[in-house]
């Protein structure tokens, strides 16, 4: 068996993972990124709209600063974020955008003179100043006081990922693609690397490292309807969960994006609404201006998704063979804008829908998009529970997003957090002395080999992995969606417990040898159901509504009892429910809890007596 040594092992080769690896490499350390796909096919490349950073260069961003960005982020999180982390992010973001420009990202730039823009379907005029010519410009995104989303048309993730991957190549960062980490190597105190499976040959490899980083993105594929790519299936979270020592933070905080196209659920960027697109109902009439007169289509994503779902419930949805939907209208933006600044949206609509958005409406509905929850880390990106284990990006609960993240903040987080955490990893490595215990390594390799052989040879496994996965997805979709109730979540948890028992009885229909997707799915299915239970059980126990977590039976945000972060452990691998602990959502209140300014909701204040609403 091949054993490979490196100073830093990064599981995942998207923007967050590669940006962290760059910091380690610049400090003189060796770094290897493991990836299911070639690095440039990582899901970071699918991000369209842009990255938030308070540059204040364009006319509608005048007066912006990190303080305003920080305030928007805290309000967007519905006071669920770690405000110290949100402050680190807001302060660092402008520096990181300029760093990316230096590396070669072709940001859209300020063009002086008068130009037209749309808001709420109406046309307005703005004038860009000559002194700002050529500076990085910005577009409008939801839940923000200023235009601050830096963009490259609507291919921002693609452009930034290709640029960052070039820097990795220049610095000698290795990317081992078609490789999947299936277990962490640890002794209960320290992480020593991972056991990985080559997806070309099926062979196991050992990667030993002084520091290991999980950067595998979200876990949206535990839902049936998601904008996430097929590789976003929780594969990086599962090895951490299986240690029994590392908690997942805020797993019930799941974001649904307002504009997934019907029926494929491919995302069309928030930049459509930021640039002036509007949402229409079955009568082709606007409705967000009724529910949110101030922010309209650009309230935060959790708010817009709820109002869209509510409007469909009111009988205003468009019926189709694929379920009810609403319309996104960008026709008034014009051909030049759509085929220029929204060219990927144009290509998606024409290629996957047969719809020409220059002249036709786009069918959209809210769909699972982002995971605020993930591997719980401190502000340095160090995972709870095990020394030498880090996490960064969407796979982590760092926790700057709280219970709802703002559009543009997550793509910015990949490089901002990647830089901050990567530097902390380099500092950790400066004084790291690691002794690799061969018996610990051998035991883990043996355990994984036996697990694979059991799936291949077991004749008693009666469950089909794909049917089990579909049952999990459908159960979570019904019980832990945009609107949640006690009855729905209770039933969801009970069904998922039954599905977990089925997942433990999975057998293979194929021989499991070589390149075998059924074996890959079977190795992950139990962990995926455990993640689904973390989502549903955490949501059941959180008796309030905060951000993306909306309880119809507990509609108030309860700051008195629930200003907390959920920590979900799977302490015994044979348990059928996670263990839930809680910690304060923030240690430092730069901004005391208050009203978000959008999204109508009740608030039970922290100083309210029991049973009294503030």
Helices 83-103 and 409-430 meet at what angle, rounded to 10? Answer: 90
Please identify, in words, the CATH class of the domain defined by 438-584: mainly alpha
Q: What pLDDT score does 1 carry?
A: 80
**Lowest pLDDT segment from 70-74, 285-289, 454-458, 462-466:** 454-458
Q: Is 337 a catalytic residue?
A: no
The answer to whether residue 492 scores a pLDDT higher than 90 is: yes
The answer to whether residue 612 scores a pLDDT higher than 80 is: no
SS3 assignment, position 522: helix
Ranges for all domains in the chain classified under CATH 1.20.58.100: 438-584
**What is the rounded average pLDDT of the residues 53-80?**
95
Alpha-carbon gap, residue 135 to 341, rounded angstroms: 17
Q: Which CATH architecture has domain 263-366?
A: Alpha-Beta Complex (3.90)
Alpha-carbon gap, residue 482 to 553, rounded angstroms: 13
The DSSP line for 51-91 is EE-----SGGGTT--HHHHHHHHHHHTTS-S-HHHHHHHHH
Arithmetic mean of pLDDT over the chain? 94
Alpha-carbon gap, residue 491 to 480, rounded angstroms: 10
- The catalytically annotated residue of 40, 69, 139, 273 is 273
The answer to whether residue 461 scores a pLDDT higher than 90 is: no
Q: Output the six-digit token pair for 1.
A: 């068996």
Q: How confident is the model at residue 613 (pLDDT cuts 50, 70, 90)?
A: very low
Q: Output the six-digit token pair for 2.
A: 């091949």
Q: Is 273 a catalytic residue?
A: yes
Pick from 184, 402, 361, 351: nearest CA to 259: 361
Alpha-carbon gap, residue 324 to 542, rounded angstroms: 29
The answer to whether residue 599 scores a pLDDT higher than 90 is: no
Q: Which of the given ranges, 261-275, 512-526, 531-545, has the highest pLDDT on average?
A: 531-545
- The catalytically annotated residue of 257, 401, 546, 551 is 257
Q: Please, which residues bridge with residue 607 across strands?
A: none
Across the beta sheet with 149-150, the strand order is 51-52, 149-150, 138-139
Ranges for all domains in the chain classified under CATH 3.90.700.10: 263-366
SS3 assignment, position 103: helix
Q: What pLDDT score does 119 carry?
A: 83
In 104-217, which ranges are continuous DSSP H helix?
156-171
SS3 assignment, position 473: helix
Note the pLDDT tens digit of each residue in 225-284. 999 999 999 999 999 999 999 999 999 999 999 999 999 999 999 999 999 999 999 999
pTM over 0.75: yes
From the number of C-beta atoms within 10 Å of its C-beta (0-12, 13-18, 19+), residue 459 rates as exposed
Q: Is the peptide bond before 263 cis (omega within 30 degrees of 0)?
A: yes
């Amino acid at each position: 068996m091949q054993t490979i040594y490196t100073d830093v092992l990064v599981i995942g080769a998207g923007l967050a993972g590669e940006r962290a690896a760059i910091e380690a490499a610049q400090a003189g350390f060796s770094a290897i990124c493991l990836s299911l796909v070639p690095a440039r096919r990582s899901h970071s490349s699918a991000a369209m709209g842009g990255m938030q950073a308070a540059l204040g260069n364009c006319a509608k961003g005048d007066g912006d600063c990190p303080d305003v960005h920080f305030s928007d982020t805290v309000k967007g999180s519905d006071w669920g974020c770690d405000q110290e982390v949100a402050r680190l992010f807001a302060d660092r973001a402008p520096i990181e955008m300029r760093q990316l420009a230096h590396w070669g990202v072709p940001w859209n730039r300020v063009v002086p003179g008068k130009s037209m823009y749309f808001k709420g379907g109406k046309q307005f005029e703005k004038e860009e100043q000559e002194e700002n010519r050529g500076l990085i410009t910005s577009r409008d995104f939801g839940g923000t006081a200023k235009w601050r989303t830096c963009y490259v048309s609507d291919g921002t993730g693609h452009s930034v990922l290709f640029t960052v991957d070039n820097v990795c190549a220049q610095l000698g960062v290795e990317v081992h693609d078609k490789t999947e980490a299936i277990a962490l190597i640890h002794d209960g105190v320290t992480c020593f690397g991972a056991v990985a499976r080559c997806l070309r040959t099926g062979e196991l490899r050992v990667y030993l490292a002084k520091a290991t980083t999980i950067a595998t993105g979200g876990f949206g594929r535990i839902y049936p309807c998601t904008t996430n790519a097929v590789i976003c299936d929780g594969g990086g979270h599962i090895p951490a969960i299986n240690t029994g020592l590392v908690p997942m933070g805020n797993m019930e905080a799941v974001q649904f994006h307002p504009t997934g196209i019907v029926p494929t659920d491919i995302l069309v960027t928030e930049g459509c609404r930021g640039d002036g697109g509007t949402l229409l109902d079955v009568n082709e009439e606007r409705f967000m201006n009724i529910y949110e007169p101030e922010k309209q289509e650009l309230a935060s994503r959790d708010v817009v998704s709820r109002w869209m779902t509510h409007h469909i419930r009111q009988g205003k949805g468009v019926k189709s063979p694929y379920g009810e939907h609403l319309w996104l209208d960008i026709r008034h933006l014009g051909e030049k804008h759509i085929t220029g600044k929204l060219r990927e949206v144009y290509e998606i609509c024409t290629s996957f829908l047969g719809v020409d958005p220059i002249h036709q409406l786009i069918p959209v509905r809210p769909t699972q998009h982002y995971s605020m929850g993930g591997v719980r880390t401190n502000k340095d990106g160090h995972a709870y529970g095990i020394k030498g284990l880090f996490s960064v990006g969407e796979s982590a609960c760092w926790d700057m997003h709280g219970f709802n993240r703002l559009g543009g903040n997550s793509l910015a987080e990949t490089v901002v957090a990647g830089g901050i955490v990567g530097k902390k990893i380099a500092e950790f490595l400066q004084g790291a002395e690691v002794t690799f215990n061969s018996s610990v390594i051998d035991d883990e390799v043996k355990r994984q080999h036996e697990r694979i052989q059991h799936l291949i040879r077991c004749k008693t496994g009666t469950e089909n992995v794909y049917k089990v996965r579909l049952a999990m997805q459908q159960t979570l979709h019904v019980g832990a969606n945009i609107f949640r109730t006690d009855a729905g979540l209770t039933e969801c948890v009970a069904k998922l417990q039954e599905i977990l028992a089925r997942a433990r009885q999975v057998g293979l229909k194929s021989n499991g040898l070589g390149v075998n997707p059924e074996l890959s799915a079977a190795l992950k299915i139990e962990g995926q159901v455990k993640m689904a239970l973390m989502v549903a059980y955490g949501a059941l126990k959180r008796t309030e509504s905060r951000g993306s977590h909306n309880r119809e039976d507990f509609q108030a945000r309860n700051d008195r009892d629930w200003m907390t972060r959920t920590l979900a452990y799977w302490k015994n691998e044979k348990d059928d429910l996670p263990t839930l602990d809680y910690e304060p959502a923030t240690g430092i209140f730069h901004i005391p809890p208050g009203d978000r300014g959008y999204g109508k909701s009740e608030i039970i204040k922290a100083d309210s007596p029991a049973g009294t609403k503030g």
